[in-house]
Amino acid sequence: MTSTEVDDLEAVTDVAVPPATGRPRSRTPGPPPVGRSERIGLLAGVVALAAVVIGTRFGVFTPDTRPDLYQQPGRFLASSLDAWVGGANGLGQANFNAGAAPIAAVVWVIRGLGASPWLAVRIWRLLLLVVGAWGIRRYLAALLGSRLTVAGRVVATVFWVVNPYAVVSASTTPILLPYALLPWTLLAFVQATRQPRSWRWPAAFALGFFAQSGLNAGVVPFFQLLAVPAHLVHARWIERHRWRDLVRVLVRCGLLAVVVSLYWLLPSFLASSTGAGIAGSTEDPRDIARTSSYGETGRLLGNWPLYGRGGARLFLGDYAIYLTNPLVVAASFAVPLAVGISLWRSRARERLLTVALLAVGLPVMVGLFPPDHPYAAGRLLGAVFDRVPVALAFRTTNKVGAIVVLAYVIALAVGVGAWRHSGVARSRRVRVGATAVAAALLLAASAPLWDGGLYPLGFRFPRTWQDATADLDRTGPDGRVLVVPGGAGGNYRWGMRSPDDVFPSLLERPAAVRTTVVGRGDPAGNFMSGFDTALAEGALPARGLSVVAHYLGATDVLVRNDLLTEEINGPSPAAVTGLARDDPGLVLRRSYGKPGTDTVPDTAGPVTERSRQTDRSDSAVAPLLTLAVTDADRAVHIAPASQQILVDGDGGSVIPLARDAITDGRRPIRLLGSLDQRSFATSVRDGGRLVLTDTNRRRAWDVNRVANATSATLAANGDVDSGNGATTTLWPDDPTKQTVTEVTGVASVTADKPGFGLHPFGRASNAFDGDPTTAWITGGFSTATGNRIGIALNRTRTVRSVSVQALPSEPSRITSVAVQVGASQVVQALPPDGTEVKIPIRPTPAERVVVTILGQTPGLNPVGISSVTVDDVAVREVTRLPETLSRLTSHADATTRRRLASMPLDVVLTRAEGIRSDQSDDEEAQLDRRFRLPDDRTMVFTAELTSQGADPVAVAAARRGDRSCRRVALLDGRPLRARVVSTPGQVAEGRLLLQGCGDQKMASGGHELLTIFGWRLDQVRFSSGGAEGASGRSSGASGPSLRLGARTPTRIEASVAASGPGARLFRLGEAFDERWALSIDGRDAGPPILVDGYATGWRIDEHAHRLVATFTAQRAVKATFLLSLAGVVGVVAVVVLPAPSAEDRRRWRHRARHTSLTDGVDQR
């Protein structure tokens, strides 16, 4: 060390070198006292902060987490204690958010003091910011002691509150709360390392960790624990504490923190599958990391929503100033620069702590960046995310930012201290100038605080919603409300934008609504997606809505026409309203609001004259409608098992079952995929009806849309997880229980995934099917270049001729392709008129033929290839139905087979058409199917198609009343003949109904139905009769024969009266979860079964019983809550109560010895 460097060091730290004694010398004298001017400054700062936090968008509700936390804090608090909650779709899910309880308690107190919801948000946030500022002062005082300067303390205080991370990332409570409490928690840890034998500071650490809460499974508090290793480094090498003492401190802090956090740790663990499903369905780790460069995280930004947009709308528009304003950009980059200068100029010992914090915080915050070509650390992190589902909870690595801010604060505090000790700062003019510059930079770096942009997302609940929900609560407090249409959260034209919907905030009753974010293969998500997709695509039959309402136990239907359906490819308000009003099972109660208000897509507010002219139908509907379900059932329901429908398919089968009048919404449904061999035999013994469907299609899903939100139906080996959301396909890893596609003519057809979202239409096989009216479609938003399509031939053969025909799309179309045939490749330009081009290749041996798009003209529309002809190769893609019934039957005993043969059986097939009003988005051009029958059957064939899909000659004949038999399809290679039986009115409407000419004798085993040119069948049904037991309307009940008793979210009591002979199916109405248990007259009924496609249920006998259903995880959750509560009381006592003095301990020891001696005398 040079003498100059030593001088520098001593100038800053006032060092004298005492002899080493071997004892820790860490106790530092206190920081400078708070003077009058600092006090006044702080007071002024708090007032300014309060003015900004409360005054910005005064009166507007700006929730920074779930809105119901502020709207209904009491209910929110109560639900935090439950292991089972309504969840996003209202049908129930395990609760992974128990950690929100302390926050709800505080907000409940704030509301109790008279604050309205919007004010409660502001008060809560102000409280946190003040607590955080206070905490950072205490922390720095403990860390730096007398070396903390007043100027450094002020800079640190202000910077902790006004920095880009506090403004943008900490705009939500799950981040702001741990951010505010981090300094307090670390203060306790620093002091604990200095008193390693004391339990007080570890207890205080535990309290700090407890107060950070376990909101959103405690992800942020866990992230912030990464600050602890840096403090251990500081304690060991700077403060010279022994490892043994530090380990003791670590163990004590960890132990107590776990005890007080058990209440949310256990529920989070129990609900990890739910949480992982949601995590897997929402943001992709690579998308999150797309903006988290060192440059952006260095200036405390990088949080992906800041850079995101949906169409023209920026997700966080008011914060965009951090990207668009040069002054603000420069000021925000001045932050890491100032930190760097501080670290460079200072010689303070806390520099090592700062480096350790940055070494952990910055790389974690950066995460996978650059996501497309990550470095080694990013690749490792990506592998962890890919292989450990629970790790996905930590995918938003930006949340570790508080550690980086803490490092910056320490650096700035010591930097300011160093500067104050330097000669430069002796001039008052320089000090004033520097203060002004620092203030200007801080103001610019926190611009949204001062320019009115602090709350980008805010709204007021419209009167219509308040009135409608109040009326619904009055009319039927017990029953469910079915809300249509579904969506991707609470995104409304009147301003609300949230992943959480409005219902928990306004509605006391439970609401069932489809949400696009579901758990992988979750039955409830599957059921809701099935019917709501049909609604969004215009495929719901006339009674579809009321039938679904019956299955869900909904007594009312709420139609919301103010949802931002235009952003999610949702249905038009007029279409949904029309469907609801025309449903004979629904009765209009009331409409709310003026017609046209917030109901016209791409507009907001009252209807304008222009909207009336451009969108007459949507302008004419009210924002909200409520309808009553006639003869409604409750969610808890019981029905005779003899009326059950055993379906090979999924929850989406309700729609074709309702369409074909197989169910009225009361016949219990059991999905064959959920049955094992034994329960299958029992079910067959109970009786009912068998239905084979082409539902439960193997598809990848997109969470950003509600219609056409999937891939095309995949082959059995297709990647069901290739969407940006979890698949709703049931039993996603067992293709035998799914509807999948199979190709004939080649080994396989493959295509690259579209670069801009999935869609079911334009599947790859369309290019090879010989039909020029269908095409492989890809490349929306100019992403086609590089996309490939190809076939693998059945064997190596000499390919002599290839021709390609581009889809004549506009404005963008494909201009050139590369055709690879074996080892030969030819680049070929394609003409703009879409004519077929013969590729000049020489005969080449090949196993594969691949066409790669090389160019496209400008335009955002998708492009495609209509035809690729390879010699005489003919490709056909056929859809194969689930094979569960066939498999179960093949392993069944003779009795079961005999019973099975006597049951009625239907094969119900539906062509995948996409949106009905759009002729260009059909997934399947033809209804080609393969299915297996369990036994020999005599079937009646019926079908339906539109007149556009029929041979014009046949349509003309039908208009004339011609009922002659015609060949309409091929069944197992033989002509299938049918006649048109439509009434003249139906023909005029364009509907052609077909009736088979005679019965079809079909043997057990596989069958293939292929449609033929001129008869594009939309729906097909093969029916065979049998002894069903009972038919028509179910005699199921939730009324007189089922009486509901006490009910909590995790315990439902009911009693059932005796019924006629035969078993019954008891539907709990809650989403299926194996942790539900039922006791029948005190005896365990065994594991639950899947009933009605989504619900937990049990099969019970015909006798009268008392039933008690419980969610078993609740017991453990309650126990851990009590343990945590006791832990909190204990650690508070340890923190607050004085420790016994040495004199006290001596006296106690003496007394104990004396008592022991006395006891000995007595005993003698």
Partner 1 sequence: MIEPGNRPSSSAVLVWIAFALTAGALDGYAGGAAAVLVAAVGLARLPAEWLGRVGVACLALAPVSVLVDGLPSDATVSPGFVTRSLTPHHLVFGGFSLLAAWIVIDVRRHLRTTGHLADATVRPDPPDHPRVQAPAPLARLSRAGQLALTGAVAVSGAVIAIAVVLR
Number of Cβ within 10 Å of residue 351's Cβ equals 18
Nearer CB in complex with partner 1: 292/869: 292
At closest approach, how far in Å is the CB of 456 from partner 1?
A: 12
Q: Which is nearer to partner 1, 194 or 1021 (CB)?
A: 194
Binding string to partner 1 for residues 661 to 700, with x set by CB under 8 A, is what?
Answer: ----------------------------------------
Applying CB under 8 A, does 358 fall inside the site for partner 1? yes
Binding mask 701-720 for partner 1 (x = CB under 8 A): --------------------
Taking a C-beta distance cutoff of 8 angstroms, is the pair 739, 781 a contact? Answer: no
Contact call for residue 761 and partner 1 (CB under 8 A): no
In which element (H, E) is residue 941 found?
A: strand 937-946
Shortest Cβ distance from residue 221 to partner 1 (Å)?
19
Nearest to partner 1 of 80, 867 (CB atom):
80
Residues 70-109 that bind partner 1 (CB under 8 A): 78, 81
- Which residues have CB under 8 Å from 130's CB, separation 6+? 46, 49
14 forms part of the interface with partner 1 (CB under 8 A): yes
CA neighbours within 13 Å on the CB side: how many for 282? 18
Among the listed residues 126, 341, 443, 837, the single contact to partner 1 using CB under 8 A: 341
In three-state secondary structure terms, 1081 is: coil
Site for partner 1 in 1047-1086 (CB under 8 A): 1048
Q: Is 1136 in the site for partner 1 (CB under 8 A)?
A: yes
Does residue 242 touch partner 1 according to CB under 8 A? Answer: no
Please identify which residue in 823, 894, 1137, 1142 interacts with partner 1, judged by CB under 8 A.
1137
Question: How long is the chain?
Answer: 1164
Q: Which two tokens stand for residue 1151?
A: 């007394």
Residues 269-328 that bind partner 1 (CB under 8 A): 290-298, 302, 304, 307-309, 312, 314, 317, 320, 323-326
What string of DSSP letters covers 525-594? HHHHHHHHHHHHTT---TTHHHHHHHHHTEEEEEEE--B-GGGTT---HHHHHHHHHH-TTEEEEEEES-
Nearer to partner 1 by Cβ, of 685 and 1118: the residue is 1118
Among 64, 68, 239, 562, binds partner 1 (CB under 8 A): 239
Is the N-terminal amide bond of 811 cis, ω within 30° of 0?
yes
Q: Determine which residue in the list 1133, 1145, 1146, 1153 makes contact with partner 1, applying CB under 8 A.
A: 1133
| Cis upstream peptide for 73 (omega within 30°) | no
Is residue 437 part of the contact set for partner 1 (CB under 8 A)?
A: no
Near partner 1 by CB under 8 A: residue from 114, 1040, 1138, 1160: 1138
**Residue 965 lies near partner 1 (rule: CB under 8 A):** no
Nearest-angstrom CA–CA distance, 858 and 863: 11
Nearer to partner 1, 18 or 858 (CB): 18
Q: How far apart are CA 648 and CA 908, in angstroms?
A: 10
Residue closest to 9 by CA, chosen among 367, 417, 378, 300? 417
From the number of C-beta atoms within 10 Å of its C-beta (0-12, 13-18, 19+), residue 1089 rates as buried
- Judged by CB under 8 A, the stretch of 236-244, 614-622, 649-657, 955-963 that binds partner 1 is 236-244
Closer of 263 and 731 to partner 1 (Cβ): 263
Which CB, 874 or 1126, lies closer to partner 1?
1126
In whole angstroms, the minimum distance from the beta carbon of 1129 to partner 1 comes to 4
Query: How many residues bind to partner 1 according to rule CB under 8 A?
Result: 99
Say which DSSP state 1068 is in: E
For 760, the token pair is 């079911």
* Residue located via tokens 């690749």: 379
Contact 1100, 1080 (CB under 8 A): yes
Q: Which is nearer to partner 1, 724 or 995 (CB)?
A: 724
- Please tell me the distance from the alpha carbon of residue 826 to that of residue 847, in angstroms, as a whole number: 16
The stretch among 67-75, 354-362, 567-575, 801-809 that binds partner 1 (CB under 8 A) is 354-362
Q: Of 168-176, 362-370, 468-476, 951-959, which segment contacts partner 1 by CB under 8 A?
A: 362-370
To partner 1, the closest distance from the beta carbon of 757 in angstroms equals: 16
Question: Applying CB under 8 A, which of residues 15, 251, 383, 953 lies at the interface with partner 1?
Answer: 15
Please report which helix (H) or strand (E) contains residue 798, including its range: strand 788-799
CB atoms within 10 A of CB 379: 12
CA 826 → CA 169, 852, 869, distances in Å? 52, 10, 15
| Contacting partner 1 within 531-560 (CB under 8 A) | none
| CB of 890 vs partner 1, minimal distance in Å | 50
**938 touches 1044 (CB < 8 A):** no
Options 32, 45, 145, 1062; binder of partner 1; rule CB under 8 A: 145
DSSP secondary structure code for residue 716 in this structure = T
Question: 444 or 714, CB closer to partner 1?
Answer: 444
Q: Environment class of residue 38 by beta-carbon count within 10 Å: exposed (0-12), middle (13-18) or buried (19+)?
A: middle
DSSP annotation of 87 reads -
- Tokens of residue 73, six digits: 């804090």
Q: Does residue 20 touch partner 1 according to CB under 8 A?
A: yes
| Closer CB to partner 1, 259 or 524, in the complex | 259
Query: How far apart are CB 214 and partner 1 at their closest, in Å?
Result: 16
Report helix, strand or coil for 37: helix
Identified binder of partner 1 from the candidate list 75, 248, 347, 991, rule CB under 8 A: 347
826 touches partner 1 by CB under 8 A: no
Which whole-number Å values give the CA distances from 812 to 16, 173, 706, 788, 948, in the listed order?
Answer: 76, 45, 26, 17, 28
**823 counts as binding partner 1 under rule CB under 8 A:** no
CB of 165 to partner 1, least distance (A): 15
Residue pair 1041/73 in contact by the 8 Å Cβ criterion: no
Instruction: Specify the stretch interacting with partner 1 by CB under 8 A; choose among 252-260, 388-396, 639-647, 1115-1123.
Output: 1115-1123
Question: Judged by CB under 8 A, which of 46, 60, 258, 352 binds partner 1?
Answer: 352
Helix, strand, or coil here: 623? coil
Q: Please select the residue that binds partner 1; options are 52, 91, 128, 334, rule is CB under 8 A.
A: 334
Bridge partners (DSSP) of residue 557 are 482, 627
What is the nearest approach in angstroms of partner 1 to the Cβ of residue 854? 24
Q: Select from 301, 317, 297 the least CA-distant residue to 309.
A: 317
Q: Which residue in 420, 590, 979, 1118 binds partner 1 (CB under 8 A)?
A: 1118
Go through 1005-1039 and write b for each residue having 16 or more CB atoms within 10 A of its CB, e for each that does not: eebebbbeeebbbbbbbbbbebebbbeeebebbbe
Nearer to partner 1, 326 or 1160 (CB): 326
CA-based torsion, 1080, 1084, 1089, 1095: positive or negative: positive
- Contact with partner 1 (CB under 8 A) among 113, 255, 337, 829: 337
In the list 125, 137, 147, 1105, the residue contacting partner 1 (rule: CB under 8 A) is 147
* 874: contact with partner 1 by CB under 8 A: no
Within 175-214, the residues that bind partner 1 by CB under 8 A are: 188, 191, 194-195, 200-201, 204
Q: Which residue of 94, 104, 362, 512 would you call a contact of partner 1, by CB under 8 A? A: 362
- Name residues whose C-beta falls within 8 Å of residue 661's C-beta, 6 or more positions apart in sequence: none
**Quick one: 34 or 1129, whose CB is closer to partner 1?**
1129
